[in-house]
Every structure is written in C-alpha cells, then in structure tokens.
C-alpha cells in the first residue's frame, strides 16, 4: 500500500500492484490469485460484462441481431451498426449499484475467515463499504480486475486504435 499526499491534501489510498494485502477500515484484506469453483463460475458470468460493458445476455442479443441482418438482403448496414455498438460497449462503463469492476475485485480480495467457496451480495457490500470508507483509489481496483482477464489489454488497444487511429504528427525536430 502506498499513500500519497499532494500539497498537504490527503489523497486516496493507492494499492501497490505487487502487494498481496492491505488494510481498509480496520479490516485486513488479502489479494489472492486463486478462486474456488463457485467464485470461478461467478467470474465467468461477470467477465464479459467487464470486458464488453454489456451482460452476456445483451451480447447474445446483439449477436443475434447481427446474424439476422447479415442473412437479410437489405440489412447489412444494421449489422455494421450493431457490431460497432457492441465493440464500443467495451470502452464504456454502465453505472450500476455495484459496478462489475467492484464485483470482480471482491472475488479476489478477501478478508480473514471469509468463506471463499461462496459469494454473496452481503459480503460484497461489506467490502465495498470498507473500501469507500478507507478511500481506496478506484484505478487500483480497475487494474486488479482488468489484469484478471486474459487478452483484454490487447483487444482493448486494438479496438481503440480501429476507432481512433493515431494521427500522424508534424514533428519537425
């Protein structure tokens, strides 16, 4: 854990990415790299939502729309629009009671004596309450969550570059 201050202003608690534990609101938490079967199943459920900004059901509905449009003579533009919207979902964040990034962080960050074979909204509420009270930097939690998705960083960068190509610079140095 690293705490920083700027001009004597207290700042948020930034989690050291190499650390395996931290204390928030008097509770010691461990950052773990393994999951029980139950938590792995929860991870599989929320991972697409974290990566694409939509639930699995929303992703499937969009893919069905694309499929139907591609099989129709006059709906190719609809397929392109739906596909672009699905890809743009990967770079937007939908506001929810417990954003998916916090749900994912709660799977891997555990307090002592926590039952790691289950996952509940009550446990998630307790953790998020502690993290809010302590002032945990959200970027730290984003990094933790996104680091758990295999291949996410490359896919994100490729998607961003396809929509926002780098402009050539007129640097004459």
Residues sharing a CB contact under 8 Å with residue 150, sequence separation 6 or more, in sequence order: none
Q: Which helix (H) or strand (E) holds 137?
A: none
Entry pTM: 0.60
Read off the tokens for 112.
């002592």
Give the pLDDT confidence of 64-96 residue by residue, as tens digits.
888 788 888 788 787 777 777 666 664 444 444
pLDDT at 123 over 90: yes
Give the pLDDT confidence of 10-29 residue by residue, as tens digits.
789 998 888 889 999 999 99
Q: Which helix (H) or strand (E) holds 10?
A: strand 9-14
Mean pLDDT (whole number) for 133-138: 92
């Amino acid at each position: 854990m690293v705490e920083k201050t700027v001009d004597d202003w207290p700042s948020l608690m930034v989690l050291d990415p190499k650390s395996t534990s931290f204390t928030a609101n008097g509770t010691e938490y461990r950052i773990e790299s393994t999951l029980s079967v139950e938590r792995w199943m929860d991870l599989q459920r929320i991972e697409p939502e974290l990566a694409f900004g939509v639930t699995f059901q929303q992703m499937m509905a969009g893919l069905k729309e694309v499929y139907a449009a591609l099989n129709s003579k006059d709906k190719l533009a609809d397929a392109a629009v739906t596909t672009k919207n699905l890809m743009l979902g990967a770079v937007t964040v939908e506001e929810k009671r417990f954003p998916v990034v916090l749900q994912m962080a709660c799977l891997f960050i555990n307090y002592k004596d926590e039952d790691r074979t289950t996952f509940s909204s009550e446990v998630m509420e307790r953790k998020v309450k502690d993290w809010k009270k302590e002032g945990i930097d959200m970027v730290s939690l984003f990094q933790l969550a996104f680091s758990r998705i295999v291949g996410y960083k490359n896919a994100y960068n490729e998607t961003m570059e396809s929509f926002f190509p780098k402009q050539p610079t007129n640097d004459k140095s």
